[in-house]
Structures are given as C-alpha cells and as structure tokens.
Amino acid sequence: MDYTGDPAGAPAYLDAATAAPPHPVTREALLAALADGWADPSRLYAAGRRGQQLHEAATAVVAEILGVRADEVSFQPSGTAAAQAAVLGGLRGRERVGRVLVHSAIEHSAVLHAARTAEAVEVGVDRLGRLDLDAWATAVRAGGVALAGLISASHEVGTVQPVAAAAELCAEAGVPLFVDAAQTVGRAPVPPGWSLLSASAHKWGGPAGVGVLVVRKGVRWLSPYPQDDLYRPRHPGALSLPAVVAAAASLRAVTAEARSEAVRLSALVDRIRERVAATVPDVEIVGDPVERLPHLVTFSCLYVDGEALLHALDRHGFAVSSGSSCTSSTLRPSHVLEAMGVLSHGNVRVSLHRDTTEADVERFLTVLPGVVAAIRKEAGI
C-alpha cells in the first residue's frame, strides 16, 4: 500500500533492531574492497592472495573485538545462517550425548526453527522477559542435553539475559552454550562463558548478508551441510569478501563509539519510556527498564490494531516494527510477548541508532499520542 501523506517532518528510521543504517565506514570499506578485494581468496594467483589477505585481516579484527582466536571465527551468509549453523552443528557434534536442545522461550525465530529438528526443551521468562534461571538449571542438568541456546538480549523487548549465570550452569552440567548475540555485538561486551556465538553485521551498522559464527576451541561442532572440512564452520559457497571487509571495518568503528552511543541512546530510551507512559492512556511499556539494551524500547497500546498503528506512524515518517499478530507473516502474536504474558496487540518496537537525534525522538513523542487517539476514536473508544 502506498501512502502519499505529508510526513510533517523529516522521516525518522527507528527500526535499527531489524537493520541499522550502514555506518559511514561500511560504505567506504565496501567501495574500497569492491575495487580491491573481489577475487576468490582460495585461489593461488596474486588477486586471490590479496583476497586472502583481506579475509584474514577482517577475521582478525572480529576475533580481537570478540576476544577469541581468529581460527574460531567464520563468516556466514547472514545472522540467521550463523545461528542455525551454530544450533544444527552444535547438536550434531554431540549426537552421542543426546538430542535435547534447551533454549529460552524468547529466542529469535531462526533458532526456534532450528530447534524443531531436535527435542527442544523451552525455558520460560518472567514478566520483564528475563530468563528463569532455576528452570534453566533444572533443564540443562537433565540427561541427554546436547546444546543450550540463549539470546544475549531480547531482540523484541530489549531485556538483557543473565548470560554469565546461564553459562556457569551449563559449564557445571557439561553442556555447551550457544549465545545469539545479534543485538549485543557492536553495542556492548558479550559476557564470557559461552561455547558458540552468532552475530549479524546489519544489526550493528555493517552490510546485510554477513553473519558471524564463533565456535570455541574444544567445542564439538559437526557441519550440518555437505562440505570438505566437517569439523570447522566455513562460508557455504563464495564469500562476499567486500561485504565481509565492510562488516569488520564497521564493527571496529561502532565498537569504538559503543560506550558513548549507549549512554546517549539509553537516555533517549528512558525519555520514551517515561513520556509514552505519561501521555498515552492504557499503554504498557514492556521489558526490563534497567537491565536492557541501550537502544530499544517496546510498548503495547490497548484497543489499537498494531498494523494500523504501524501504517499511521509510517504516514508521519516513522519506521518502527511491531510484534502484534496482524503484522507478522504467521498471523500469530509475538512468541516473546506471549512468553512474558504482556499485551501483544497495539505493539510497537522503537530501536535507535547513531543517526537518531533528540529531535527525531521528540517529534515521535509529540506525534504518537494523537496517532493512538485517532485509531481508538475510529474504533469507537
């Protein structure tokens, strides 16, 4: 559907948790590497060696930022592909132990889809979206657990998960932990103790089409795909080397800015949390107000259709996303909001990035109450 309404202000993209706008370094590195690093790094001529050099340099940058060895890092076609390779390969590597995958109820759908290939045991969260550590401990101690999976922080509501504590419980039980760190890498350090990790470049301001998979030394991983080396993840098919170079360069750039950006964006999120609660009646701000991602806030409005709200905000120039059922491909409400037991309709997720200004947030906060009121009025409230 096309809307031609006057956005009444500069458009503001507020959906960084889906894809952050490319960092300026992404563009620069991508263009440079397109000129210089397009050849297949596995070939033995000069252009191939140049590609190999760039690939190694990019791997080293990512490894250093994540605090791991370079040979533990591989690039994948996307964050989804990386997460699924972690789950499927992690399960396959420990087939002899069992087929059980323990995972939180708020994992990304990519992980939940992979979980359907195993005997999945789901561990719940509280009303704020935080993992139930007692239930987690019981689940990972049970027999036949091949792998455990925990998202570093909820991509839908922002609540940071107790990764270090969950990892300790896994270590005591001898179960490797996979952490889907897509929303954390590039914004905050990932707590230690995990065995496998995935991330996604377009979530930190890198290019789309680059995922990162880390498998620590000593972790049994067996490729779920047909390939030469079954024991070490590698990129299936030709690598987009320019995109990988841009991903690594932008990760270095955003990591350098991460601390100051987190302070700035977190203050804007606090402002959204307070003002939405004060100016929109019958609204529930969801997720942990303190232990949360710096850039993401979610709320649900009673008596409002999520899709109508999304389109109305779009007409005013705001790009946001929603966990309401009418906006999803499955026509089911968000499994994350359901697991928390919070209102799923009239749901809006706002996620900020380095280009988001205070003026963008102010305009959003000025426009939102009227938009919600108009939809409710139309519905006869």
Partner 1 sequence: MIRLARAIPGVAVGEIVRVLADDPAAANDIPAWCRMKGQEFVAADGQAFDVRRLS
Which residues are annotated as catalytic? 326
Q: Choose one: 80-88, 216-224, 262-270, 339-347; the region binding partner 1 (CB under 8 A).
A: 339-347
- Inter-residue contact 44 to 33 (CB < 8 Å): no
* The pair of three-digit structure tokens given for residue 285, joined into one six-digit string: 């701000």
8 binds partner 1 (CB under 8 A): no
- Which positions ≥6 away from 213 have C-beta within 8 Å? 73, 74, 75, 76, 82, 85, 86, 196, 197, 198, 233
Separation CA 255–CA 260 (nearest Å): 10
Q: Name, in order, each residue with C-beta under 8 angstroms of 34's C-beta and a sequence gap of 6 or more.
A: 242
Among 325, 327, 351, 356, binds partner 1 (CB under 8 A): 325
When asked if residue 337 is in the footprint of partner 1 (CB under 8 A), the reply is yes
Closer Cβ to partner 1, 239 or 337, answer by number: 337
CB 187 within 8 A of CB 295: yes
Using the rule CB under 8 A, which residue among 344, 351, 353, 354 binds partner 1? 344
Question: DSSP code of 293?
Answer: -
d(CA 197, CA 45): 33
Output 234 or 273, the one with its CB closest to partner 1.
273
Smallest gap from residue 342 Cβ to partner 1 (A): 6
Contact region with partner 1 (CB under 8 A), list: 222-230, 264-272, 327-335, 358-366? 327-335
Q: Which of 70, 133, 302, 373 binds partner 1 (CB under 8 A)?
A: 302
Segment 255 to 294, residues that bind partner 1, using CB under 8 A: 282, 284
Question: Which of 218, 226, 237, 380 touches partner 1 (CB under 8 A)?
Answer: 380
At closest approach, how far in Å is the CB of 37 from partner 1?
48
Does 333 interact with partner 1 (rule: CB under 8 A)?
yes
Query: Would you count residue 122 as binding partner 1 (CB under 8 A)?
Result: no
Q: Binding of partner 1 at residue 307 (CB under 8 A)?
A: no
CA–CA gap between residue 243 and residue 157 (Å, rounded): 29
Q: How far is CA 343 from CA 214, 298, 300, in A?
A: 36, 11, 6
Q: Does 341 help bind partner 1 (rule: CB under 8 A)?
A: yes
**Minimum separation from the CB atom of position 104 to partner 1 (A):** 18
Helix (H, G, I), strand (E, B) or coil at 284: strand
> How far is the C-alpha of 357 from the C-alpha of 201, rounded, in Å?
22
Stretch that binds partner 1, among 172-180, 229-237, 253-261, 343-351 (CB under 8 A): 343-351
Contact status, residue 219 vs residue 170, Cβ threshold 8 Å: no
Does the footprint of partner 1 cover residue 381 (CB under 8 A)? yes
Question: Cα–Cα distance between 151 and 23 in angstroms, integer?
Answer: 24
Among 293, 343, 348, 372, binds partner 1 (CB under 8 A): 343
Residue of 92, 292, 345, 363 interacting with partner 1 (CB under 8 A): 345
Q: What is the DSSP secondary structure assignment for residue 205, as one 8-state letter?
A: T
For residue 317, the minimal CB distance to partner 1 (Å) is 28
Residue 154 in the binding site for partner 1 (CB under 8 A): no
Q: Are residues 188 and 369 in contact, defined by beta-carbon separation less than 8 angstroms?
A: no
Choosing from 8, 227, 332, 366, the residue that interacts with partner 1 (CB under 8 A) is 332
Which has the closest alpha carbon to 335: 19, 86, 135, 103?
A: 103
Quick one: which segment of 38-46, 231-239, 260-268, 335-343 binds partner 1 (CB under 8 A)? 335-343
> At a CB cut-off of 8 Å and minimum separation 6, what does 205 contact?
20, 21, 22, 23, 26, 186, 250, 253, 254, 353, 354
The answer to whether residue 200 forms part of the interface with partner 1 (CB under 8 A) is no
The least CB distance from residue 108 to partner 1, in Å, is 19
Nearest to 139 by CA among 109, 105, 111, 114: 105
374 binds partner 1 (CB under 8 A): no
Residues in contact with partner 1, total (CB under 8 A)?
A: 20
Residues that bind partner 1 (CB under 8 A): 282, 284, 300, 302-303, 324-325, 331-333, 337-338, 341-345, 379-381
